[in-house]
Chains A and B, each alone.
Chain A
Amino acid sequence: AQTVTQSQPEMSVQEAETVTLSCTYDTSENNYYLFWYKQPPSRQMILVIRQEAYKQQNATENRFSVNFQKAAKSFSLKISDSQLGDTAMYFCAFMKHVGVMAYGGAQKLVFGQGTRLTINP
């Protein structure tokens, strides 16, 4: 079974600083997807960034980027120029790859326990 571990329950940085959130996972699969979701106080789960395991290049989305180390099974999220609106719980998640014609199977999205990030003014 796949597991996802976020070792930092809470983090706090000043506005405009760069912060890195850690995530490690355990799997025997070779093809999979990794995600970072953000959950602000509004409770909405918002997709921040997505990485395909077969891609060498690290995914980036504006101020958000990842450091994907497949051999080490590590998937950290870097937030540059942090803003007050980045304050939220951040969840790392793993999904097993499925083929185009797949039906059923284990497409579960497995989440880590989350990191509570606070951006201070």
Chain B
Amino acid sequence: DAGVIQSPRHEVTEMGQEVTLRCKPISGHDYLFWYRQTMMRGLELLIYFNNNVPIDDSGMPEDRFSAKMPNASFSTLKIQPSEPRDSAVYFCASSLLGRGNEKLFFGSGTQLSVL
């Protein structure tokens, strides 16, 4: 398996622009997580899905952030409009939780820079 695939690997944009980050989970996994990593706040859970349904989005910072999972093999995290404080590494992770396989597999992350 290719693992969790994220794109793009790097994204540089200007303040106010829309940014879309993409994730393809490991085939067969039914949980998908979006994390954000910054120096100040470490790794924070933004939102997670189970069977394509958002379960907990309490970590989403504000209405500028939205996430979707239209099918089992694809998810997006969108920021509109983007701000410099959104600059961070965004990770997607997937898992088969609750079946004795409690472990998350992470993608390589998207480094987002908002100028």
B-binding residues in A (CB < 8 A)? 33, 35, 37, 42-47, 50, 91, 95, 97-114
Complexed CA–CA distance, A106 and B105 (Å): 18
**Given contacts A46-B106, A104-B55, could you give 5 more A-B pairs where the C-beta distance is less than 8 Å?**
A43-B89, A43-B111, A100-B99, A104-B50, A107-B31
Q: For residue B89, which residues in chain A have a CB less than 8 angstroms away from its CB?
A: 43
Q: For residue B99, which residues in chain A have a CB less than 8 angstroms away from its CB?
A: 100
Complexed CA–CA distance, A42 and B89 (Å): 12
Complexed CA–CA distance, A114 and B108 (Å): 18
* Least Cβ–Cβ distance between A18 and chain B, in angstroms: 25
Please name the 6 residue pairs, one residue from A and one from B, whose CB atoms are nearest each other, closest first.
A45-B106, A111-B43, A98-B98, A104-B55, A33-B102, A113-B42
Complexed CA–CA distance, A103 and B108 (Å): 27
Complexed CA–CA distance, A105 and B50 (Å): 10
Q: Is the CB of B31 within 8 A of A43?
A: no
Any A CB within 8 A of the CB of B25: no
Chain B 81-101 interface 0/1 with A at a Cβ cutoff of 8 Å (1 = within): 000000001010100011100
The 15 sampled A-B contact pairs (Cβ below 8 Å) are: A37-B106, A43-B108, A46-B106, A50-B103, A97-B102, A98-B102, A100-B98, A102-B98, A104-B55, A107-B31, A107-B98, A108-B45, A109-B33, A109-B104, A111-B42
Closest to A32 in B: B102
Instruction: Answer whether A103 and B42 are a contact pair too, CB < 8 Å, given A43-B109, A47-B103.
Output: no
**Contact among B43, B48, B56, B98 with A99 in the assembled complex (CB-CB below 8 Å):** B98
Complexed CA–CA distance, A44 and B109 (Å): 7
Q: Is the CB of B45 within 8 A of A109?
A: yes
Closest to A35 in B: B103
Q: For residue A104, which residues in chain B have a CB less than 8 angstroms away from its CB?
A: 50, 55-56
Q: For residue B109, which residues in chain A have a CB less than 8 angstroms away from its CB?
A: 43-45
Q: For residue A50, which residues in chain B have a CB less than 8 angstroms away from its CB?
A: 102-103
* Least Cβ–Cβ distance between B109 and chain A, in angstroms: 5
Complexed CA–CA distance, A46 and B106 (Å): 7
Complexed CA–CA distance, A4 and B63 (Å): 28
Chain B 29-65 interface 0/1 with A at a Cβ cutoff of 8 Å (1 = within): 0010100000000110100101000011000000000
Q: For residue B55, which residues in chain A have a CB less than 8 angstroms away from its CB?
A: 104-105
